[in-house]
């Protein structure tokens, strides 16, 4: 891979329910291009729904669409299933991200690649990283509310990822999302000031 590939890229990451998509939307409002690995993954899941059905069972696919919530249940709780799915999806996701980033690089200005597992997997040679940070207690509360689950299930989902404090230490830049939207907007503007 040539070094030019992700020259202007900034990896945007964080933990589950720390506010990555909100931050992405704010960057978009400011005219920044973003690549969303999750969105790409969802699209690829549906494109490969036949493979998913034969790997995990017909009950996880309906009308050519993967039932992500149902599939999630056997992925989150089972390491072997998780690795099987990742082996299928990760190379395809990477290929698509590279395709999109080549187009973005032509503009020669910073853009964001939203990769939830950036530090866990280290699959991408992106030199700058931005972590969306929320203290764990708030993260748990938000996840319980968002997915309508109890505290134990929220903690289990969060424990599947690297601790947010660790990510905070590894990041080049951090956005603090522990308060309200107004505060978050100010944080986004501060980062824009640092990168342009």
* 67 CB neighbour count, 10 Å cutoff: 16
pLDDT tens-place values along the chain, 196 residues long: 555 789 999 999 999 899 998 999 999 999 999 999 989 999 999 999 999 999 999 999 999 999 998 998 898 788 899 999 999 999 999 999 999 999 999 999 999 999 988 998 878 999 999 999 999 999 999 999 999 999 999 998 898 889 999 999 999 999 999 999 999 999 999 999 999 8
What is the per-residue pLDDT for 2? 53
From start to end of the chain, where are the E strands?
9-14, 34-36, 61-62, 65-66, 111-114, 128-133, 173-176
| Structure-token match 């506010």, residue found | 19
Q: Residue 115: its pLDDT value, please? A: 92
Give this prediction's pTM.
0.88
CA-CA distance, 44 to 61, in Å (whole number)? 13
- Rounded to whole angstroms, the Cα distance separating 98 from 1 reads 10
Paired with 175 in beta bridges are 132
Q: What is the pLDDT of residue 196?
A: 87
Can 1-33+109-195 and 39-106 be said to share one CATH topology?
yes
Q: Is 22 annotated as a binding-site member? A: yes
Residue 21 known to bind ligand: yes
Correct CATH for 39-106 of 1.10.287.110, 1.20.120.450, 3.30.1550.10, 3.40.50.300: 3.40.50.300
Q: Which CATH number fits domain 1-33+109-195: 3.30.70.1170, 1.10.357.10, 3.40.50.300, 1.25.60.10?
A: 3.40.50.300
Is 19 labelled a binding residue? Answer: yes
Looking at residue 59, its pLDDT comes to 95
Give residue limits of the domains in the chain: 1-33+109-195, 39-106
163 vs 15: CA distance, rounded Å:
8
129 marked as binding residue: no
Q: Is 134 annotated as a binding residue?
A: no
């Amino acid at each position: 891979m040539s070094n030019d590939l992700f020259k202007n890229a900034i990896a945007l990451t964080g933990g589950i329910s720390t506010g990555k998509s909100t931050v992405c939307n704010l960057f978009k409002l400011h005219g920044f291009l973003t690549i969303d690995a999750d969105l790409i993954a969802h699209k690829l899941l549906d494109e490969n729904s036949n493979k998913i059905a034969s790997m995990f069972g017909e009950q996880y696919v309906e009308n050519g669409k993967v039932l992500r919530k149902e599939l999630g249940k056997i992925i989150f709780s089972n390491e072997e299933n998780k690795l099987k799915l990742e082996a299928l999806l990760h190379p395809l996701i990477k290929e698509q991200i590279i395709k999109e980033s080549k187009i973005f690089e032509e503009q020669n200005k910073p853009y964001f690649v939203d990769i939830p597992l950036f530090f866990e997997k280290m699959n991408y040679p992106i030199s700058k990283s931005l972590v969306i940070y929320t203290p764990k207690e708030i993260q748990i509360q938000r996840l319980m509310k968002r997915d309508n689950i109890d505290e134990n299930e929220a903690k289990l989902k969060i424990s599947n990822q690297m601790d947010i404090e660790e990510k905070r230490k590894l990041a080049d830049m951090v956005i603090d999302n522990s308060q309200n939207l107004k505060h978050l907007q100010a944080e986004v503007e501060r980062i824009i000031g640092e990168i342009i």
